Amino acid sequence: MDAGHHEGRPDAVATDIEGHLTPVTEEVTAFDLPVSGRVPAELNGRYLRIGPNALGIEDPAAHHWMHGEGMIHGVRLRDGRAEWYRNRWVRSDAVRAKLGEPLRRVRPAHGTDFACNTHIIGHAGHVLALTEGGASPQDIGHELQTLGPSPLGGSAPGFTLAAHTKLDPRTGQLHSLGYLAGHASVRHTVLDPDGALVGVRDLPMPGSPMVHDFALTEAHLVLYDVPVTYQPEALGRGATMPFAWDPRHPARVGVVPRGSGDVRWFEVTPCFVSHTLAYEENGLLVVDVVTLPDGFDIAAMRADGYGALDRWTIDLRAGTLHEQRLDDRPQEFPRVGESMVSRRHRYGYSAATAALYRRYVPFEGPPPDAAFDNALIKHDLLRGTSELHRFGRDAAVGEAVFVPAGAPPALPAADGEDDGYLLAYVHSPERGAADLVILSAQDFTGAPLARVHLPRRIPLGLHGSWLPDS
Ligand SMILES: [Fe+2]
C-alpha cells in the first residue's frame, strides 16, 4: 500500500509527472470501504475513471504524461455501501511484459496495441477503455481486468472508436470520430444500441490535426480542425509528442449533417479545442468549448494563457459563427448528464484547473481569481451564473460525472436536468489518499452527501463514467 505524494517514485522522473500527476506503482484491491456521510442507496453500479499512469519509464526526458499506460480506478457502490475499490492497468502486451505476465497468443497489429488511457465508457454490454489516434479499444471486465481488443467499432486499423464518443440519448446510437495521425480524413462511425456497426463514412480533414473531441447535436456533427497537427519530425527536435502548433494551419469548425452531406467550415480565432458540449435549436448550433490559446504547445503543455470556457454560436442560415467567452477562469472537463448529450443543456459541470495550470502553463500573474482552485464548477448556462464547490488547499479534483437520481434512462424534463449526483475522485491531503466524493447536483455548494475513503492516492487522470447495474 502506498500513501502520500512521494511513494514509489522512480529515481528520476519527467517533470510532467510530478505532484498530483505522479503515477502509483501498485494495483490494489480493498473491500467495504469506510464512508463519511451516506452513499445514496439508489447508486448501484460502478464509477470508473481512467488516466495515464506510466509503468517503468525508460527515458523520463522523452516521456509525455499523456502517453503513460492507462490505469482504471473503480469503486463499486451497492445498497448504500462502497463494496470495493480497485485500480488496474489496462493490459497491452507491453504492459504484460513489464508486469511479467504471459503475452497474448495472437500478436496484435502493429500500432494498435496500446494500454488505452483516455476514456472508459459502457455500451451494448461492453465496458470499453478508449484512446484516440488508432489504438484498439479494450474490453474491460467487471473487476477491471482487460479482456482483450473490443470487437465494437469495426476492425479497420487505426480508425476504430476514438477517445471521445457521444451517445445519443434519443436513439441509443453511439457516435465516434476516429482518426489516424498522418491521414487526411477522419472516420465517423455509428454503432446501434446493440453495438452493431450501422454507419461508417470518412470526412475530409487535411493537414492531420489532432482531433481530440467533437460534438453531436440533434441533426449534426461538429468537427474541430485546429492548428495542433501531426509533426513527427518534432520528436527529432526533442519534443515528447509528435503533435505541435502549426501557425499556417487554419482554426475552423466544421458542421456536417449526421447522415450524409458535405462539411461546412467556419473560421474561429486560432486556438486548440479540448472538450465540448453542444446542441442546436431553430437553425442555431450552440457549442460550448474549452479552448487553449494561440500557440498552445501540447508537448510542453505550455501556452500564453489557460483553458477557459467559450461559446460558439453558429447560424447555419446566415453562415456566421459568433464567439463569446462564457467563463474566464481556468477549467477543463466540461460534462453534462449523459441524457443531455446533443440536447439543449442548461447545466454544465467542469473542474477548476488553476493548480494544474500554475504548474504547467506559466502565464503572467495570478489567474483571474487566485482563490479559485481545487474546485468543481456548476454552470447555469441559462442564467449565466455559476457555483463553486471548493475542496480546499492541496486537494485535487478532476472530471466529475453526473448521475441522474431515480431510474435511468428516461429523458429528464428541463427542470429536472440537475436532479442527481456528481461523482469525482478528490485528493484528501489530510489522509494522503483519495476520496470518492458524492455531491448533490442541486445542493452543489452544500456538504458532500458522502466521501468514500479510498486506501490510496489516485493521480489526476482523464475521463470516466458511471456504469449502473441495470
Ligand atoms: Fe478528453
From the number of C-beta atoms within 10 Å of its C-beta (0-12, 13-18, 19+), residue 353 rates as: buried
Q: Name the residue among 411, 441, 459, 216 with its Cα closest to residue 349.
A: 441
Q: What mean pLDDT is predicted for residues 93-99?
A: 95
pLDDT computed for residue 96 by the predictor: 96
Q: What mean pLDDT is predicted for residues 232-256?
A: 91
pLDDT computed for residue 222 by the predictor: 98
Centre of ligand 1 from the C-alpha of residue 317, in Å: 31
**Over 50: is that where the pLDDT of 451 sits?**
yes
> For residue 430, which amino acid is it?
E
Centre of ligand 1 from the C-alpha of residue 381, in Å: 21
pLDDT computed for residue 8 by the predictor: 35
> For residue 178, which amino acid is it?
G
List, for residues 62-73, the tens digit of each pLDDT value.
788 888 999 999
Percent of the chain whose predicted confidence (pLDDT) is above 90:
71
Centre of ligand 1 from the C-alpha of residue 31, in Å: 30
Ordered by start, the domain boundaries in the chain are 15-468
CB atoms within 10 A of CB 456: 20
Statement: the pTM of the whole predicted model exceeds 0.85: yes
**Over 70: is that where the pLDDT of 36 sits?**
yes
CA geometry: angle at 252 spanning 165 and 344, to 5°?
50
pLDDT computed for residue 155 by the predictor: 63
User: What confidence tier does 157 reach under pLDDT thresholds 50, 70, 90?
Assistant: low
pLDDT computed for residue 13 by the predictor: 37
List, for residues 377-403, the tens digit of each pLDDT value.
999 999 999 999 999 878 889 999 999
**Over 70: is that where the pLDDT of 20 sits?**
yes
Centre of ligand 1 from the C-alpha of residue 153, in Å: 19
Residue given cell 473560421 in the structure block: 267
Q: What mean pLDDT is predicted for residues 120-140?
A: 94
pLDDT computed for residue 182 by the predictor: 87
pLDDT computed for residue 21 by the predictor: 82
Long-range CB pairs of 259-267 (<8 Å, 24+ gap) are 259/199, 260/201, 263/203, 263/204, 263/223, 264/316, 264/319, 265/225, 266/312, 266/314, 266/319, 266/320, 266/321, 267/321
pLDDT computed for residue 330 by the predictor: 86
Centre of ligand 1 from the C-alpha of residue 226, in Å: 15
**Over 80: is that where the pLDDT of 359 sits?**
no
Select the highest-mean-pLDDT range: 105-119, 237-251, 410-424.
Answer: 237-251
Residues in the chain: 470
pLDDT computed for residue 12 by the predictor: 35
Residue given cell 498552445 in the structure block: 296
Centre of ligand 1 from the C-alpha of residue 408, in Å: 25
pLDDT computed for residue 373 by the predictor: 63
Centre of ligand 1 from the C-alpha of residue 260, in Å: 26
Q: What is the mean pLDDT of the chain?
A: 88
pLDDT computed for residue 59 by the predictor: 79
The strand ranges marked E within 141-261 are 146-149, 165-167, 174-179, 185-191, 197-204, 215-216, 220-225, 228-230, 243-245, 252-257
Spatial separation of the C-alpha atoms in residues 13 and 41, rounded to whole Å: 42
pLDDT computed for residue 85 by the predictor: 98
pLDDT computed for residue 393 by the predictor: 78
CB atoms within 10 A of CB 449: 18
Centre of ligand 1 from the C-alpha of residue 52, in Å: 12
> Under a CB-based contact definition with an 8 Å cutoff, are residues 411 and 170 in contact?
yes
Q: What mean pLDDT is predicted for residues 291-319?
A: 87
pLDDT computed for residue 365 by the predictor: 52
Residue given cell 447545466 in the structure block: 347
Centre of ligand 1 from the C-alpha of residue 129, in Å: 13
pLDDT computed for residue 295 by the predictor: 87
**Over 60: is that where the pLDDT of 2 sits?**
no
In whole angstroms, what separates CA 296 from the centre of its chain? 19
Centre of ligand 1 from the C-alpha of residue 99, in Å: 27
**Over 60: is that where the pLDDT of 372 sits?**
no
Centre of ligand 1 from the C-alpha of residue 275, in Å: 6
**394 vs 451: which has the higher pLDDT:** 451
pLDDT computed for residue 355 by the predictor: 59
Spatial separation of the C-alpha atoms in residues 178 and 221, rounded to whole Å: 13
Centre of ligand 1 from the C-alpha of residue 292, in Å: 13
Centre of ligand 1 from the C-alpha of residue 404, in Å: 22
**Over 50: is that where the pLDDT of 9 sits?**
no
Matching CATH number, 15-468, of 2.130.10.10, 2.60.120.10, 3.40.50.720, 2.30.30.100: 2.130.10.10
From the number of C-beta atoms within 10 Å of its C-beta (0-12, 13-18, 19+), residue 189 rates as: buried
**Over 50: is that where the pLDDT of 371 sits?**
no
